[in-house]
A and B are shown apart, each in its own frame.
Chain A
């Protein structure tokens, strides 16, 4: 594989040298290329302006804001229970995971805690949305690099997970299932056995992806050594989730902070990769999907009985105070800084979404890369537009 990469690099250099000779003779000018707003690699409407010198990017600038919905302002005119409807739509592929940190922040301010069964089900649904989200990423990754098959596998297997989420919550994409103090409902009958079967299928899906993509020579040569982000740069830019762990930083909010959730009750592993390149980012995500299926299996085995809702007043007034809660969402660290004035609704909510920080590194990481690698890097950083613009 390294030979192939070296040969590619050499041919690039030769081509560059030939170009440079031509440029001297012809005095060519740089070219500005627009990627997007409508582009399959952007998961929504993100425009990236790249200025090229031959095949090489000399300057790149993402232009976000095509999908800004002003959620921070809208939360200020809604009551606490109404906010979850909005924040479901931030990262639309893993909606349930968006609700959890906000509800936890409100619960922290109110000093209540969900009953154990609700904590368990929350964690299960959280991991299911991770599988749905990252599973689609794995398929989409193939499409962006020119492999058509994986995306059909991904859509097929994501459907099983979405059906589970729909059966439990009533909503495929926007469950709006989390309540302050617990959950709206208990799990339906037969859901546990069904979920276990689906988890088996999902582990097979991960193995398929491993064979189809990660063992593929072309895939590796497109991703290995491309878009390397060192750990200190990643931390400075606030990269989170798999993007940070792929740079060798062992930091997972599920393990490294105390939250009233069930992650610390089961046995699982945080995967990191020392390379920091595109391949590492994708590989860490694949391992995380596998790990998530294991978490769900173990949680289903230890699911406690009892109510799913704590005793909360019917009219929810959150006491005055400030709280910051963030969780390890499918895309990275997602958190809410909630300021309450003892009112029915929040005074100010700062939504810290993962993709906003993850994509702010694009001008840094795209400098000097070649045009085909732009797509690989964007795909491996993995962002969702709703999560950038909010």
Chain B
């Protein structure tokens, strides 16, 4: 899978591969100073990006700190990840056969996590040209976090969407109407345990597309012809 980098790209890659990233590690440090135990975990990819995980209680304070201390005034997006592996797979199962065994272990992504639902948002500093991805665990038994509306006004619609699609409550948001679905709709479509019925009734034949073509011996070694 190693690809020779182009001549123009190689110099950039060398600078990106430098160990450490003062800018992004400084962000984590300043957030730690501001929030104390509110910052749980962080991950810095030098020269690329930074992920910071805070507690659900510190969610709003983290937004304030990012806006006022780090200078991330630009609100990019806010959403939720459901880390539970889908019990329906990717909808490629044969409906006539019993469903295959699936690993139900929940594995969270960058900067770790302890709960099934995780809220994450991205804000950007448009002066110094960097962005921060911030995450927080949402307790499974009481899926409510503080609203970011008073920090970033643009969070309004994003929180409505998250409420509708994932069933997350936002304390301080008094207008959590549905954006897309009728108000009497039951369930939260973006949760992994919400089945995509069209796919289960008639599985997608697309899986055929990635099956081995005649002549290909080993798929990992096989290289696409240009």
Q: In the complex, which residue of chain B has the Cβ closest to the Cβ of A237?
A: B154
Query: B73 near A235 (CB under 8 angstroms)?
Result: yes
Query: B224 near A314 (CB under 8 angstroms)?
Result: yes
Residue of A111, A233, A308, A357 most packed against chain B (CB within 10 A): A357
Q: In the complex, which residue of chain A has the Cβ closest to the Cβ of B49?
A: A324
Query: B224 near A324 (CB under 8 angstroms)?
Result: no
**B216 at interface, CB cutoff 8 A:** yes
Query: B156 near A348 (CB under 8 angstroms)?
Result: no
Separation of A27 and B6 alpha carbons in the complex (Å): 74
**A149 at interface, CB cutoff 8 A:** no
Stretch of B30-38, B126-134, B136-144 contacting A (4+ beta carbons < 8 Å) = B126-134
**B40 at interface, CB cutoff 8 A:** no
Instruction: For B6, list chain A residues within 8 Å (CB).
Output: 113, 115-116
Separation of A232 and B222 alpha carbons in the complex (Å): 52
Q: A112-B1, A236-B152, A339-B109 in contact; A65/B76 too (CB < 8 A)?
A: no
Instruction: For A330, list chain B residues within 8 Å (CB).
Output: none
Instruction: For A335, list chain B residues within 8 Å (CB).
Output: 76-77
Q: A82-B209, A322-B109, A360-B154 in contact; A313/B74 too (CB < 8 A)?
A: no
Which residues of chain A from 327 to 357 have a CB within 8 Å of any chain B CB?
A: 333, 335, 337, 339, 341, 343-345, 348, 350, 352, 356-357
Instruction: For B8, list chain A residues within 8 Å (CB).
Output: 116, 265
Instruction: For B133, list chain A residues within 8 Å (CB).
Output: 324, 337
Contact of B153 among A307, A313, A364, A389 (CB under 8 A): A364
Separation of A76 and B120 alpha carbons in the complex (Å): 18
Query: A313 near B220 (CB under 8 angstroms)?
Result: yes
Query: B216 near A314 (CB under 8 angstroms)?
Result: yes
Task: Give the Cβ gap from A259 to chain B, nearest Cβ, in Å.
Answer: 10
Query: A73 near B196 (CB under 8 angstroms)?
Result: yes
**A79 at interface, CB cutoff 8 A:** yes
Separation of A295 and B181 alpha carbons in the complex (Å): 42
Task: Give the Cβ gap from B211 to chain A, nearest Cβ, in Å.
Answer: 9
Residue of A236, A320, A341, A343 most packed against chain B (CB within 10 A): A236
Contact of A181 among B75, B90, B224 (CB under 8 A): B224
Separation of A77 and B91 alpha carbons in the complex (Å): 6
Instruction: For A79, list chain B residues within 8 Å (CB).
Output: 206-207, 209-210
Q: How many residues of A contact B (CB 8 A)?
A: 68
Instruction: For A257, list chain B residues within 8 Å (CB).
Output: 129
Query: A238 near B179 (CB under 8 angstroms)?
Result: no
Separation of A77 and B129 alpha carbons in the complex (Å): 34
Separation of A78 and B206 alpha carbons in the complex (Å): 8
**A146 at interface, CB cutoff 8 A:** no
Instruction: For A337, list chain B residues within 8 Å (CB).
Output: 77, 79, 120, 122, 133
**B81 at interface, CB cutoff 8 A:** yes
Task: Give the Cβ gap from B157 to chain A, nearest Cβ, in Å.
Answer: 4
Assign chain B's interface to a size class.
35 or more
Q: In the complex, which residue of chain B has the Cβ closest to the Cβ of A112?
A: B3
Separation of A344 and B91 alpha carbons in the complex (Å): 13
Task: Give the Cβ gap from A324 to chain B, nearest Cβ, in Å.
Answer: 6
Contact with A along B72-115 (1 / 0, CB 8 A): 01111101011001100011100000000000000101100000
Query: B131 near A238 (CB under 8 angstroms)?
Result: no
Query: A236 near B154 (CB under 8 angstroms)?
Result: yes
**A156 at interface, CB cutoff 8 A:** no
Separation of A323 and B165 alpha carbons in the complex (Å): 22
**B51 at interface, CB cutoff 8 A:** yes
Q: A79-B206, A251-B74 in contact; A324/B223 too (CB < 8 A)?
A: no
Separation of A68 and B152 alpha carbons in the complex (Å): 25
**A70 at interface, CB cutoff 8 A:** yes
Separation of A380 and B164 alpha carbons in the complex (Å): 29
**B171 at interface, CB cutoff 8 A:** no
Instruction: For B165, list chain A residues within 8 Å (CB).
Output: 72
Query: A232 near B73 (CB under 8 angstroms)?
Result: yes
Instruction: For B76, list chain A residues within 8 Å (CB).
Output: 238, 326, 333, 335, 352
**A26 at interface, CB cutoff 8 A:** no
Instruction: For A193, list chain B residues within 8 Å (CB).
Output: none
Instruction: For B224, list chain A residues within 8 Å (CB).
Output: 181, 309, 311-314
Separation of A360 and B79 alpha carbons in the complex (Å): 16
Separation of A237 and B76 alpha carbons in the complex (Å): 8
Which residues of chain A from 351 to 375 have a CB within 8 Å of any chain B CB?
A: 352, 356-357, 360-361, 364
Instruction: For B79, list chain A residues within 8 Å (CB).
Output: 337, 350
Query: 4 shortest A-B CB distances, which residue pairs?
Result: A237-B154, A65-B180, A68-B180, A251-B126
Q: Would you list 19 pairs from A and B whose C-beta atoms are within 8 A, ordered by A residue?
A: A65-B179, A77-B199, A77-B204, A79-B209, A112-B3, A116-B8, A182-B226, A232-B73, A236-B73, A238-B76, A238-B152, A309-B224, A313-B224, A321-B110, A324-B131, A333-B76, A343-B90, A356-B157, A360-B157
Q: A321-B109, A337-B133 are in contact. List 4 more A-B contacts (CB 8 A).
A: A237-B75, A237-B152, A237-B153, A323-B49
